[in-house]
Chains A and B, each alone.
Chain A
Amino acid sequence: MSITPSNYQLVPTIRKDYILSLLKDGKRVDGRGPSDVRPISIITNYVPRADGSAYVKLGETIVLTGVKIEPGTPYPDNPTEGVLIVNAEFVPLASPLFEPGPPDENAYELARVIDRSFRESKAINLSKLGIVPGKKVMVLWTDIYVLNHNGNLIDASAISTLAALLTTKVPKVVINGEQVILEKSSDNEFLEVNKKVVTATVAKIGSYLVVDPNDEEESIADVRLSVSFDERGEIVGLQKSGMGFITPGDLDNMVDLAWRAANIYLKEINEQLAAQLSKPREEKEVIIEKLPVEKPSVDEESVEEEQEKEKQIED
Protein backbone atom coordinates (compact mmCIF):
# COMPACT_ATOMS: atom_id res chain seq x y z
CA MET A 1 0.00 0.00 0.00
CA SER A 2 1.33 3.43 -0.84
CA ILE A 3 0.95 6.03 1.90
CA THR A 4 1.40 9.81 1.77
CA PRO A 5 4.91 10.33 3.14
CA SER A 6 4.92 11.87 6.60
CA ASN A 7 8.65 11.91 7.21
CA TYR A 8 9.59 14.34 4.52
CA GLN A 9 12.17 16.94 5.36
CA LEU A 10 10.32 20.07 6.31
CA VAL A 11 11.84 22.99 4.50
CA PRO A 12 11.01 26.18 6.40
CA THR A 13 8.82 28.63 4.50
CA ILE A 14 11.48 31.32 4.67
CA ARG A 15 13.90 29.02 2.91
CA LYS A 16 11.33 28.00 0.31
CA ASP A 17 10.58 31.66 -0.44
CA TYR A 18 14.30 32.34 -0.78
CA ILE A 19 14.72 29.48 -3.25
CA LEU A 20 11.78 30.76 -5.31
CA SER A 21 13.03 34.33 -5.37
CA LEU A 22 16.44 33.14 -6.57
CA LEU A 23 14.78 31.09 -9.28
CA LYS A 24 12.93 34.17 -10.44
CA ASP A 25 16.37 35.52 -11.31
CA GLY A 26 17.38 32.25 -12.91
CA LYS A 27 19.64 31.28 -10.04
CA ARG A 28 19.80 28.37 -7.62
CA VAL A 29 21.04 28.25 -4.06
CA ASP A 30 24.24 26.40 -4.99
CA GLY A 31 25.06 28.91 -7.70
CA ARG A 32 23.81 26.79 -10.58
CA GLY A 33 21.51 27.88 -13.37
CA PRO A 34 18.29 25.96 -14.01
CA SER A 35 19.87 23.80 -16.70
CA ASP A 36 23.17 23.19 -14.89
CA VAL A 37 24.10 19.81 -13.58
CA ARG A 38 26.24 19.25 -10.48
CA PRO A 39 29.85 18.05 -10.84
CA ILE A 40 30.06 14.37 -11.74
CA SER A 41 32.82 11.96 -10.90
CA ILE A 42 32.83 8.30 -11.89
CA ILE A 43 35.15 5.60 -10.63
CA THR A 44 34.72 2.29 -12.44
CA ASN A 45 35.81 -1.09 -11.11
CA TYR A 46 35.45 0.35 -7.63
CA VAL A 47 34.62 -3.12 -6.31
CA PRO A 48 37.10 -5.38 -8.08
CA ARG A 49 35.37 -8.50 -6.79
CA ALA A 50 32.27 -7.59 -8.73
CA ASP A 51 32.14 -8.25 -12.45
CA GLY A 52 31.46 -4.59 -13.02
CA SER A 53 31.01 -1.62 -10.73
CA ALA A 54 30.91 2.14 -10.72
CA TYR A 55 31.06 4.64 -7.87
CA VAL A 56 29.42 7.86 -8.92
CA LYS A 57 29.20 11.25 -7.27
CA LEU A 58 26.62 13.66 -8.59
CA GLY A 59 27.21 16.68 -6.40
CA GLU A 60 27.03 15.09 -2.97
CA THR A 61 24.76 12.25 -3.97
CA ILE A 62 26.78 9.05 -4.02
CA VAL A 63 25.59 5.86 -5.68
CA LEU A 64 27.55 2.66 -6.14
CA THR A 65 26.28 0.09 -8.61
CA GLY A 66 27.69 -3.41 -8.69
CA VAL A 67 27.13 -6.06 -11.33
CA LYS A 68 27.53 -9.75 -10.57
CA ILE A 69 27.10 -12.34 -13.27
CA GLU A 70 25.83 -15.70 -12.12
CA PRO A 71 24.26 -18.62 -13.90
CA GLY A 72 20.47 -18.73 -13.85
CA THR A 73 17.39 -19.83 -15.75
CA PRO A 74 16.25 -17.92 -18.82
CA TYR A 75 12.80 -16.45 -19.43
CA PRO A 76 10.65 -19.05 -21.23
CA ASP A 77 10.10 -16.87 -24.31
CA ASN A 78 13.81 -16.02 -24.61
CA PRO A 79 15.53 -19.33 -23.93
CA THR A 80 18.94 -18.34 -25.23
CA GLU A 81 19.17 -14.80 -23.89
CA GLY A 82 20.75 -13.57 -20.69
CA VAL A 83 18.66 -11.92 -18.01
CA LEU A 84 19.00 -8.42 -16.55
CA ILE A 85 17.80 -7.91 -12.99
CA VAL A 86 18.04 -4.46 -11.45
CA ASN A 87 17.63 -3.93 -7.76
CA ALA A 88 18.07 -0.83 -5.61
CA GLU A 89 18.85 -0.41 -1.94
CA PHE A 90 18.44 2.83 -0.03
CA VAL A 91 20.70 1.89 2.84
CA PRO A 92 20.06 3.63 6.17
CA LEU A 93 23.53 5.16 6.31
CA ALA A 94 22.74 7.23 3.24
CA SER A 95 20.24 9.56 4.85
CA PRO A 96 18.46 10.31 8.13
CA LEU A 97 15.26 9.65 6.16
CA PHE A 98 16.11 6.03 5.33
CA GLU A 99 14.89 3.42 7.77
CA PRO A 100 16.33 -0.09 8.00
CA GLY A 101 14.02 -2.73 6.61
CA PRO A 102 12.68 -3.93 3.29
CA PRO A 103 13.01 -1.54 0.34
CA ASP A 104 10.36 1.14 0.29
CA GLU A 105 8.34 2.17 -2.74
CA ASN A 106 10.91 4.76 -3.80
CA ALA A 107 13.61 2.13 -4.06
CA TYR A 108 11.36 -0.15 -6.09
CA GLU A 109 10.34 2.70 -8.35
CA LEU A 110 13.94 3.71 -8.97
CA ALA A 111 15.05 0.17 -9.75
CA ARG A 112 12.18 -0.35 -12.15
CA VAL A 113 12.71 2.96 -13.93
CA ILE A 114 16.41 2.18 -14.49
CA ASP A 115 15.62 -1.42 -15.44
CA ARG A 116 13.05 -0.35 -18.02
CA SER A 117 15.40 2.15 -19.62
CA PHE A 118 17.94 -0.57 -20.33
CA ARG A 119 15.44 -3.27 -21.16
CA GLU A 120 13.15 -1.38 -23.51
CA SER A 121 16.00 0.23 -25.38
CA LYS A 122 17.66 -3.16 -25.80
CA ALA A 123 20.84 -1.46 -24.72
CA ILE A 124 22.54 -4.67 -23.72
CA ASN A 125 23.19 -7.49 -26.11
CA LEU A 126 21.69 -10.27 -24.04
CA SER A 127 21.88 -12.84 -26.81
CA LYS A 128 25.58 -13.36 -26.18
CA LEU A 129 24.88 -14.43 -22.60
CA GLY A 130 23.45 -17.89 -23.10
CA ILE A 131 25.13 -20.95 -21.57
CA VAL A 132 22.94 -23.97 -22.25
CA PRO A 133 19.98 -23.11 -24.50
CA GLY A 134 16.68 -23.23 -22.65
CA LYS A 135 18.33 -24.24 -19.40
CA LYS A 136 21.08 -21.95 -18.33
CA VAL A 137 21.95 -18.38 -19.12
CA MET A 138 23.96 -15.65 -17.49
CA VAL A 139 22.06 -13.38 -15.15
CA LEU A 140 23.29 -9.79 -14.79
CA TRP A 141 22.51 -9.05 -11.15
CA THR A 142 22.68 -5.26 -11.06
CA ASP A 143 22.46 -3.80 -7.59
CA ILE A 144 22.21 -0.07 -7.09
CA TYR A 145 23.45 0.97 -3.69
CA VAL A 146 22.64 4.50 -2.58
CA LEU A 147 25.39 5.61 -0.24
CA ASN A 148 24.53 9.28 0.23
CA HIS A 149 21.26 10.99 -0.58
CA ASN A 150 21.52 14.59 -1.63
CA GLY A 151 18.84 14.56 -4.23
CA ASN A 152 18.30 13.10 -7.69
CA LEU A 153 19.01 9.48 -6.89
CA ILE A 154 17.53 8.39 -10.20
CA ASP A 155 20.03 10.20 -12.40
CA ALA A 156 22.99 9.25 -10.24
CA SER A 157 21.83 5.63 -10.30
CA ALA A 158 21.37 5.74 -14.06
CA ILE A 159 24.91 7.05 -14.60
CA SER A 160 26.34 4.57 -12.16
CA THR A 161 24.46 1.66 -13.73
CA LEU A 162 25.55 2.55 -17.25
CA ALA A 163 29.15 3.01 -16.17
CA ALA A 164 29.11 -0.32 -14.32
CA LEU A 165 27.58 -2.18 -17.26
CA LEU A 166 29.99 -0.59 -19.73
CA THR A 167 32.91 -1.86 -17.70
CA THR A 168 31.51 -5.26 -16.82
CA LYS A 169 33.54 -8.20 -18.00
CA VAL A 170 31.66 -11.27 -19.12
CA PRO A 171 32.96 -14.62 -17.88
CA LYS A 172 34.05 -17.21 -20.41
CA VAL A 173 31.86 -20.28 -20.50
CA VAL A 174 33.79 -23.56 -20.48
CA ILE A 175 31.81 -26.78 -20.64
CA ASN A 176 33.76 -29.73 -19.42
CA GLY A 177 31.51 -32.81 -19.67
CA GLU A 178 29.12 -32.51 -16.73
CA GLN A 179 30.64 -29.30 -15.51
CA VAL A 180 29.94 -25.75 -16.59
CA ILE A 181 32.67 -23.39 -15.56
CA LEU A 182 32.41 -19.63 -15.66
CA GLU A 183 35.91 -18.29 -15.87
CA LYS A 184 36.32 -14.78 -14.68
CA SER A 185 39.52 -13.00 -15.53
CA SER A 186 40.67 -9.58 -16.53
CA ASP A 187 41.31 -10.84 -20.04
CA ASN A 188 37.64 -11.40 -20.65
CA GLU A 189 35.50 -9.44 -23.02
CA PHE A 190 33.47 -6.49 -21.94
CA LEU A 191 29.71 -6.82 -21.87
CA GLU A 192 28.30 -5.80 -25.22
CA VAL A 193 26.37 -2.60 -24.75
CA ASN A 194 24.66 -1.62 -28.00
CA LYS A 195 23.77 1.85 -26.97
CA LYS A 196 24.33 4.11 -24.06
CA VAL A 197 21.21 5.01 -22.10
CA VAL A 198 20.87 7.65 -19.41
CA THR A 199 18.02 9.09 -17.39
CA ALA A 200 17.71 12.80 -16.63
CA THR A 201 15.31 14.28 -14.11
CA VAL A 202 13.70 17.71 -14.22
CA ALA A 203 11.89 19.13 -11.20
CA LYS A 204 9.16 21.74 -11.18
CA ILE A 205 9.32 24.21 -8.31
CA GLY A 206 6.42 26.62 -8.46
CA SER A 207 6.47 27.55 -12.12
CA TYR A 208 10.22 27.03 -12.55
CA LEU A 209 11.92 24.02 -14.08
CA VAL A 210 15.35 22.84 -12.88
CA VAL A 211 17.49 19.87 -13.83
CA ASP A 212 19.34 17.64 -11.38
CA PRO A 213 17.49 18.83 -8.27
CA ASN A 214 19.40 18.57 -5.02
CA ASP A 215 17.87 17.30 -1.79
CA GLU A 216 16.30 20.58 -0.76
CA GLU A 217 14.94 21.38 -4.20
CA GLU A 218 13.47 17.89 -4.41
CA SER A 219 11.61 18.26 -1.14
CA ILE A 220 9.93 21.50 -2.20
CA ALA A 221 9.30 20.48 -5.81
CA ASP A 222 5.70 19.76 -6.71
CA VAL A 223 6.54 17.25 -9.39
CA ARG A 224 9.45 15.59 -11.19
CA LEU A 225 9.79 14.03 -14.61
CA SER A 226 12.53 11.50 -15.26
CA VAL A 227 13.21 10.95 -18.95
CA SER A 228 15.40 8.13 -20.23
CA PHE A 229 17.17 8.70 -23.54
CA ASP A 230 19.45 6.75 -25.78
CA GLU A 231 22.35 8.47 -27.50
CA ARG A 232 20.23 9.42 -30.50
CA GLY A 233 17.67 11.20 -28.36
CA GLU A 234 14.96 8.59 -28.64
CA ILE A 235 12.86 8.45 -25.46
CA VAL A 236 13.24 5.03 -23.87
CA GLY A 237 11.48 5.70 -20.61
CA LEU A 238 9.40 8.24 -18.72
CA GLN A 239 8.29 8.53 -15.14
CA LYS A 240 6.36 11.34 -13.56
CA SER A 241 6.74 11.34 -9.77
CA GLY A 242 5.51 13.58 -7.02
CA MET A 243 2.08 14.73 -5.97
CA GLY A 244 1.78 17.65 -8.37
CA PHE A 245 0.76 17.94 -12.01
CA ILE A 246 2.41 18.76 -15.34
CA THR A 247 0.74 20.95 -17.92
CA PRO A 248 1.10 19.95 -21.56
CA GLY A 249 3.23 23.07 -22.06
CA ASP A 250 5.53 22.10 -19.18
CA LEU A 251 5.91 18.65 -20.69
CA ASP A 252 7.67 19.85 -23.80
CA ASN A 253 10.01 22.09 -21.85
CA MET A 254 10.82 19.38 -19.35
CA VAL A 255 11.73 16.87 -22.04
CA ASP A 256 13.94 19.48 -23.72
CA LEU A 257 15.73 20.28 -20.48
CA ALA A 258 16.12 16.61 -19.68
CA TRP A 259 17.76 15.99 -23.05
CA ARG A 260 20.25 18.77 -22.37
CA ALA A 261 21.17 17.22 -19.03
CA ALA A 262 21.32 13.76 -20.58
CA ASN A 263 23.90 14.99 -23.04
CA ILE A 264 26.03 16.28 -20.20
CA TYR A 265 25.80 12.92 -18.45
CA LEU A 266 26.76 11.05 -21.63
CA LYS A 267 29.70 13.35 -22.22
CA GLU A 268 31.01 12.80 -18.69
CA ILE A 269 30.61 9.06 -18.98
CA ASN A 270 32.42 8.93 -22.31
CA GLU A 271 35.29 11.11 -21.13
CA GLN A 272 35.79 9.62 -17.70
CA LEU A 273 35.46 6.03 -18.83
CA ALA A 274 37.87 6.42 -21.74
CA ALA A 275 40.62 7.23 -19.28
CA GLN A 276 39.76 4.38 -16.94
CA LEU A 277 39.21 1.65 -19.51
CA SER A 278 42.76 1.87 -20.72
CA LYS A 279 44.12 0.79 -17.34
CA PRO A 280 44.79 -2.91 -16.70
CA ARG A 281 42.75 -4.88 -14.15
CA GLU A 282 43.83 -7.65 -11.81
CA GLU A 283 43.15 -11.39 -12.10
CA LYS A 284 39.89 -12.66 -10.77
CA GLU A 285 38.35 -15.82 -9.44
CA VAL A 286 36.81 -18.74 -11.22
CA ILE A 287 33.29 -20.02 -10.59
CA ILE A 288 32.62 -23.66 -11.11
CA GLU A 289 29.11 -24.89 -11.64
CA LYS A 290 28.05 -28.41 -12.39
CA LEU A 291 25.20 -29.65 -14.58
CA PRO A 292 22.43 -30.62 -13.73
CA VAL A 293 22.28 -27.41 -11.85
CA GLU A 294 21.27 -26.98 -8.26
CA LYS A 295 18.43 -24.67 -7.42
CA PRO A 296 19.52 -21.12 -6.72
CA SER A 297 18.86 -19.70 -3.27
CA VAL A 298 15.24 -18.82 -2.44
CA ASP A 299 15.67 -15.06 -2.57
CA GLU A 300 17.22 -14.99 -5.97
CA GLU A 301 14.73 -17.39 -7.45
CA SER A 302 11.74 -15.45 -6.28
CA VAL A 303 13.01 -12.21 -7.82
CA GLU A 304 13.74 -13.98 -11.09
CA GLU A 305 10.40 -15.76 -11.12
CA GLU A 306 8.65 -12.58 -10.25
CA GLN A 307 10.33 -10.74 -13.08
CA GLU A 308 9.28 -13.54 -15.40
CA LYS A 309 5.68 -13.31 -14.36
CA GLU A 310 5.73 -9.55 -14.50
CA LYS A 311 6.93 -9.70 -18.06
CA GLN A 312 3.72 -11.53 -18.83
CA ILE A 313 1.47 -9.09 -17.09
CA GLU A 314 0.85 -6.60 -19.79
CA ASP A 315 -0.37 -3.32 -18.60
Chain B
Amino acid sequence: MSELLFDPSTGLRHDGRKPDEMRPVKMSVGVLPNAQGSALVEFGKTKVVAAVYGPREALPRFMTLPDRAILRVRYHMAPFSTKERKSPAPSRREIELSKVIREALEAAVISELYPKTTIDVFIEVLQADGGTRTAGVTAASLALADAGIPMRDLVAGVAVGKVGGVLVLDIDEFEDSKGEADMPVAMMPGLDKIVLLQLNGRLTRDEFKKGIEMARNAIKTIYVLQKQALREKYEKEGEA
Protein backbone atom coordinates (compact mmCIF):
# COMPACT_ATOMS: atom_id res chain seq x y z
CA MET B 1 0.00 0.00 0.00
CA SER B 2 1.59 3.23 -1.05
CA GLU B 3 0.29 6.17 0.82
CA LEU B 4 0.61 9.72 -0.32
CA LEU B 5 1.75 12.28 2.19
CA PHE B 6 -0.89 14.69 0.99
CA ASP B 7 -4.12 14.24 -0.90
CA PRO B 8 -3.57 16.37 -4.03
CA SER B 9 -7.17 17.51 -4.26
CA THR B 10 -7.80 18.43 -0.63
CA GLY B 11 -4.32 19.18 0.62
CA LEU B 12 -5.09 17.04 3.66
CA ARG B 13 -2.47 14.78 5.20
CA HIS B 14 -2.39 11.04 4.78
CA ASP B 15 -4.59 10.59 7.84
CA GLY B 16 -7.01 13.33 6.84
CA ARG B 17 -5.55 16.06 9.04
CA LYS B 18 -4.94 19.65 8.05
CA PRO B 19 -1.32 20.80 8.26
CA ASP B 20 -1.90 22.60 11.57
CA GLU B 21 -4.06 19.93 13.12
CA MET B 22 -3.01 17.70 16.03
CA ARG B 23 -3.95 14.08 16.45
CA PRO B 24 -6.53 13.25 19.13
CA VAL B 25 -4.88 13.68 22.53
CA LYS B 26 -5.83 11.69 25.62
CA MET B 27 -4.45 12.11 29.12
CA SER B 28 -5.07 10.46 32.44
CA VAL B 29 -3.35 10.98 35.75
CA GLY B 30 -2.71 8.52 38.55
CA VAL B 31 -2.74 5.36 36.46
CA LEU B 32 -0.04 3.45 38.36
CA PRO B 33 -0.93 2.88 42.04
CA ASN B 34 2.58 2.12 43.25
CA ALA B 35 4.21 5.27 41.97
CA GLN B 36 4.02 8.56 43.87
CA GLY B 37 2.74 10.08 40.65
CA SER B 38 1.93 8.78 37.18
CA ALA B 39 0.26 9.69 33.91
CA LEU B 40 -0.65 8.14 30.57
CA VAL B 41 -0.56 10.38 27.49
CA GLU B 42 -1.66 9.54 23.95
CA PHE B 43 -1.13 11.55 20.78
CA GLY B 44 -2.97 9.53 18.14
CA LYS B 45 -1.34 6.10 18.19
CA THR B 46 1.64 7.20 20.25
CA LYS B 47 1.14 5.91 23.80
CA VAL B 48 3.49 6.89 26.59
CA VAL B 49 3.32 6.26 30.35
CA ALA B 50 5.36 8.11 32.96
CA ALA B 51 5.90 7.35 36.64
CA VAL B 52 7.54 9.37 39.40
CA TYR B 53 9.10 7.85 42.50
CA GLY B 54 10.24 10.30 45.11
CA PRO B 55 11.53 12.49 46.45
CA ARG B 56 13.27 9.61 48.09
CA GLU B 57 16.57 8.91 49.71
CA ALA B 58 19.28 8.96 47.11
CA LEU B 59 21.64 6.05 47.07
CA PRO B 60 24.56 5.89 46.67
CA ARG B 61 25.04 8.90 48.90
CA PHE B 62 27.91 10.35 46.90
CA MET B 63 25.54 11.00 44.04
CA THR B 64 23.42 13.44 45.98
CA LEU B 65 23.66 17.18 45.94
CA PRO B 66 23.68 19.02 49.28
CA ASP B 67 21.31 21.78 48.30
CA ARG B 68 18.82 20.19 45.93
CA ALA B 69 17.28 16.97 44.73
CA ILE B 70 18.84 15.17 41.77
CA LEU B 71 16.61 14.10 38.92
CA ARG B 72 17.04 10.70 37.42
CA VAL B 73 15.17 10.39 34.16
CA ARG B 74 14.88 7.35 31.97
CA TYR B 75 13.28 7.47 28.53
CA HIS B 76 12.86 3.95 27.26
CA MET B 77 10.96 2.25 24.46
CA ALA B 78 9.26 -1.07 25.01
CA PRO B 79 10.53 -3.74 22.60
CA PHE B 80 7.07 -4.08 21.06
CA SER B 81 6.49 -0.34 20.70
CA THR B 82 8.12 0.06 17.29
CA LYS B 83 7.43 -1.44 13.88
CA GLU B 84 10.40 -3.75 14.15
CA ARG B 85 11.08 -5.18 17.58
CA LYS B 86 13.56 -3.06 19.43
CA SER B 87 16.13 -4.58 21.75
CA PRO B 88 15.38 -3.69 25.39
CA ALA B 89 18.98 -2.53 25.94
CA PRO B 90 19.25 1.28 26.03
CA SER B 91 20.24 2.64 22.62
CA ARG B 92 22.28 5.77 21.99
CA ARG B 93 19.08 7.51 21.02
CA GLU B 94 17.40 6.65 24.32
CA ILE B 95 20.46 7.88 26.19
CA GLU B 96 20.35 11.21 24.35
CA LEU B 97 16.60 11.61 24.80
CA SER B 98 16.80 10.79 28.49
CA LYS B 99 19.24 13.69 28.85
CA VAL B 100 17.18 16.07 26.74
CA ILE B 101 14.00 15.27 28.68
CA ARG B 102 15.74 15.51 32.05
CA GLU B 103 17.06 18.95 31.15
CA ALA B 104 13.57 20.06 30.18
CA LEU B 105 12.14 18.91 33.50
CA GLU B 106 15.03 20.44 35.49
CA ALA B 107 13.87 23.87 34.39
CA ALA B 108 10.46 23.24 35.90
CA VAL B 109 11.01 21.22 39.07
CA ILE B 110 11.78 23.26 42.19
CA SER B 111 14.46 20.84 43.25
CA GLU B 112 15.89 23.06 45.99
CA LEU B 113 13.01 21.95 48.22
CA TYR B 114 14.40 18.45 48.67
CA PRO B 115 18.16 18.51 49.23
CA LYS B 116 20.04 15.23 49.23
CA THR B 117 17.17 13.28 47.70
CA THR B 118 16.43 11.86 44.29
CA ILE B 119 13.33 12.31 42.18
CA ASP B 120 13.07 9.43 39.73
CA VAL B 121 11.12 9.84 36.51
CA PHE B 122 10.55 6.80 34.33
CA ILE B 123 9.09 7.19 30.87
CA GLU B 124 8.08 4.14 28.88
CA VAL B 125 6.94 4.34 25.29
CA LEU B 126 4.32 1.66 24.87
CA GLN B 127 3.53 2.39 21.25
CA ALA B 128 5.60 4.65 19.01
CA ASP B 129 4.08 6.63 16.16
CA GLY B 130 6.07 9.84 16.16
CA GLY B 131 6.41 12.50 18.83
CA THR B 132 7.39 10.10 21.59
CA ARG B 133 9.77 12.41 23.40
CA THR B 134 7.33 15.30 23.48
CA ALA B 135 4.53 12.99 24.63
CA GLY B 136 7.00 11.64 27.17
CA VAL B 137 7.90 15.00 28.66
CA THR B 138 4.20 15.96 28.72
CA ALA B 139 3.39 12.79 30.65
CA ALA B 140 6.39 13.19 32.97
CA SER B 141 5.28 16.67 33.94
CA LEU B 142 1.80 15.39 34.80
CA ALA B 143 3.30 12.57 36.82
CA LEU B 144 5.43 15.07 38.77
CA ALA B 145 2.35 17.18 39.49
CA ASP B 146 0.48 14.05 40.54
CA ALA B 147 3.31 13.24 42.95
CA GLY B 148 2.93 16.65 44.54
CA ILE B 149 6.38 17.86 43.53
CA PRO B 150 6.23 21.65 43.22
CA MET B 151 6.99 22.97 39.73
CA ARG B 152 7.36 26.45 38.29
CA ASP B 153 4.92 25.37 35.57
CA LEU B 154 3.81 22.25 33.76
CA VAL B 155 5.84 21.18 30.70
CA ALA B 156 3.99 20.48 27.46
CA GLY B 157 5.45 19.54 24.11
CA VAL B 158 4.71 18.68 20.49
CA ALA B 159 6.74 17.90 17.37
CA VAL B 160 6.48 20.09 14.29
CA GLY B 161 7.64 18.69 10.96
CA LYS B 162 8.22 19.64 7.36
CA VAL B 163 6.73 17.19 4.94
CA GLY B 164 6.69 17.67 1.17
CA GLY B 165 7.83 21.23 1.79
CA VAL B 166 4.86 21.95 4.07
CA LEU B 167 5.11 22.67 7.78
CA VAL B 168 2.92 20.24 9.71
CA LEU B 169 1.95 19.90 13.33
CA ASP B 170 2.28 16.73 15.43
CA ILE B 171 4.22 14.75 12.87
CA ASP B 172 3.65 10.98 12.93
CA GLU B 173 6.04 8.18 12.04
CA PHE B 174 5.02 7.85 8.44
CA GLU B 175 5.41 11.57 7.83
CA ASP B 176 8.73 11.65 9.66
CA SER B 177 10.12 8.83 7.53
CA LYS B 178 9.36 10.71 4.34
CA GLY B 179 9.74 14.26 5.58
CA GLU B 180 12.50 16.85 5.52
CA ALA B 181 12.41 17.97 9.13
CA ASP B 182 11.29 16.92 12.61
CA MET B 183 11.42 19.55 15.33
CA PRO B 184 10.34 18.56 18.84
CA VAL B 185 9.55 21.54 21.09
CA ALA B 186 8.51 21.65 24.74
CA MET B 187 7.72 24.66 26.88
CA MET B 188 6.55 25.89 30.24
CA PRO B 189 3.52 27.45 28.52
CA GLY B 190 2.33 29.71 31.33
CA LEU B 191 5.76 31.31 31.51
CA ASP B 192 6.38 31.24 27.74
CA LYS B 193 9.75 29.52 28.20
CA ILE B 194 11.21 26.90 25.87
CA VAL B 195 12.76 23.97 27.72
CA LEU B 196 13.24 21.40 24.96
CA LEU B 197 14.24 22.16 21.39
CA GLN B 198 15.82 19.98 18.76
CA LEU B 199 15.82 19.84 14.99
CA ASN B 200 16.46 16.77 12.93
CA GLY B 201 16.35 17.88 9.29
CA ARG B 202 16.55 21.18 7.47
CA LEU B 203 14.58 24.39 7.69
CA THR B 204 15.12 27.91 6.40
CA ARG B 205 15.16 30.68 9.00
CA ASP B 206 11.67 31.63 7.96
CA GLU B 207 10.32 28.07 8.19
CA PHE B 208 11.97 27.78 11.59
CA LYS B 209 10.22 30.90 12.86
CA LYS B 210 6.86 29.70 11.58
CA GLY B 211 7.46 26.24 12.99
CA ILE B 212 8.13 27.62 16.45
CA GLU B 213 4.93 29.67 16.31
CA MET B 214 2.97 26.61 15.25
CA ALA B 215 4.43 24.67 18.16
CA ARG B 216 3.76 27.47 20.65
CA ASN B 217 0.10 27.62 19.76
CA ALA B 218 -0.41 23.88 19.87
CA ILE B 219 1.38 23.68 23.20
CA LYS B 220 -1.15 26.10 24.69
CA THR B 221 -3.91 23.61 23.80
CA ILE B 222 -1.99 20.67 25.25
CA TYR B 223 -1.47 22.71 28.44
CA VAL B 224 -5.21 23.16 28.86
CA LEU B 225 -5.69 19.41 28.51
CA GLN B 226 -3.02 18.74 31.12
CA LYS B 227 -4.71 21.01 33.65
CA GLN B 228 -8.04 19.36 32.94
CA ALA B 229 -6.56 15.92 33.53
CA LEU B 230 -5.17 17.05 36.89
CA ARG B 231 -8.46 18.56 38.00
CA GLU B 232 -10.31 15.40 37.02
CA LYS B 233 -8.02 13.47 39.24
CA TYR B 234 -8.72 15.79 42.14
CA GLU B 235 -12.42 15.25 41.75
CA LYS B 236 -11.95 11.50 41.57
CA GLU B 237 -10.05 11.54 44.85
CA GLY B 238 -13.42 11.34 46.50
CA GLU B 239 -13.88 7.77 45.33
CA ALA B 240 -12.35 5.57 47.97
Do A and B form a real pair? yes
Which A residues are within 8 Å of any B CB, using their own CB? 1-4, 6, 105-106, 108-109, 111-112, 116, 120-121, 225, 230, 233-248, 251-252, 255, 306, 309-310, 312-315
Chain B residues contacting A116 (CB-CB under 8 Å) are 200
Q: Return chain A residues, CB-CB under 8 Å to B101.
A: 2
Counting chain A CB atoms within 10 Å of each CB, the highest count among B73, B159, B199 belongs to B199
Asked if A242 meets B103 with Cβ closer than 8 Å, knowing A105-B98, A312-B82, the reply is: yes
Residues of A within 8 A of B47 (CB): none
- The answer to whether A3 and B198 touch across the interface, beta carbons within 8 angstroms, is no
- What residue in chain A is nearest B161 (Cβ atoms)? A314
Contact residues of B with A, CB < 8 Å? 62-65, 70-75, 77, 82-84, 86-87, 91-93, 95-103, 106-107, 111, 128-133, 159, 172-174, 176-177, 181-184, 188, 191-205, 208-209, 212, 216
Given contacts A3-B71, A235-B205, A243-B107, contact A314 B133 (CB under 8 A): no
Complex A-B: 17 CB contacts under 8 Å: A1-B74, A4-B111, A6-B65, A105-B98, A108-B96, A112-B93, A235-B208, A237-B200, A238-B183, A240-B198, A245-B188, A248-B194, A310-B92, A314-B172, A314-B174, A314-B182, A315-B93
User: A235-B203, A248-B212, A251-B212 in contact; A111/B102 too (CB < 8 A)?
Assistant: no
Contact of A3 (CB < 8 Å), options: B72, B132, B159 = B72
Bound: A243/B152 CA distance, A: 13
Chain A residues near B188: list those with CB within 8 A: 245
Given A4-B102, A234-B204, A237-B199, A312–B70 Cβ distance below 8 Å? Answer: no
Tell me the interface secondary structure of chain A in the complex: mixed
A311–B204 alpha-carbon span in the complex (Å): 23
How many pairs of residues, A versus B, come closer than 8 Å at their CB atoms? 154
Please, which residue of chain A has its CB at the minimum distance from the CB of B98?
A2
Residues on A with beta carbons closer than 8 Å to the beta carbon of B205: 233, 235, 255
Contact assessment for B183 and A2 in the assembled complex, using a CB-CB cutoff below 8 Å = no
Residues of A within 8 A of B128 (CB): 313-315
Is there contact, CB below 8 Å, between A247 and B91?
A: no
Given A2-B72, A247-B192, A234 and B202 contact (CB-CB distance below 8 Å): yes
B173: chain A residues at CB < 8 Å are 314-315
- Residues of the A chain whose Cβ atoms lie less than 8 Å from the Cβ of B193: 245-247
Q: Are A2 and B82 in contact (CB under 8 A)?
A: no
B140 CB to closest chain A CB, in angstroms? Answer: 12
Let me know if A4 and B198 touch, CB within 8 A: no
Would you call A235 and B204 a contact (CB within 8 A)? yes
A121's contact among B96, B177, B183, B202, by CB below 8 Å, is which?
B202
Q: Which residues of A contact B216 (CB under 8 A)?
A: 248
B202 touches A235 (CB 8 A): yes
Q: For the complex, what is the distance from the CA of A246 to the CA of B83, rounded to whole Å?
A: 35
In the docked arrangement, what's the CA distance between A6 and B11, Å?
51
Q: Chain B nearest CB: distance from A292 CB in Å?
A: 25
- 3 shortest interchain CB distances as A-B pairs: A238-B199, A314-B176, A243-B106
Contacts of A112 in B (CB 8 A): 92-93, 96
Contact A2-B208, Cβ < 8 Å, known A243-B106, A244-B107 = no
Q: Which residue of B lies closest to A252 (CB)?
A: B209
CB-based contact A309/B84 at 8 Å: yes
Give Cα distance in the complex from A238 to B181, angstroms. Answer: 11
Q: Are A2 and B201 in contact (CB under 8 A)?
A: no
**Which residues of A lie under 8 Å from residue B199 when comparing CB positions?**
235-239
A1 with B98: in contact, given A242-B103, A313-B77 (CB under 8 Å)? yes
A108–B95 touching, CB < 8 Å: yes
In the complex, residue of chain A having the shortest beta-carbon distance to the beta carbon of B132: A315
Other 17 A-B pairs with CB < 8 A, given A105-B95, A120-B201, A314-B130: A105-B96, A105-B99, A109-B99, A236-B201, A241-B100, A241-B103, A245-B188, A246-B197, A251-B194, A255-B205, A306-B91, A314-B172, A314-B176, A314-B177, A315-B97, A315-B130, A315-B176
A315–B101 alpha-carbon span in the complex (Å) = 14
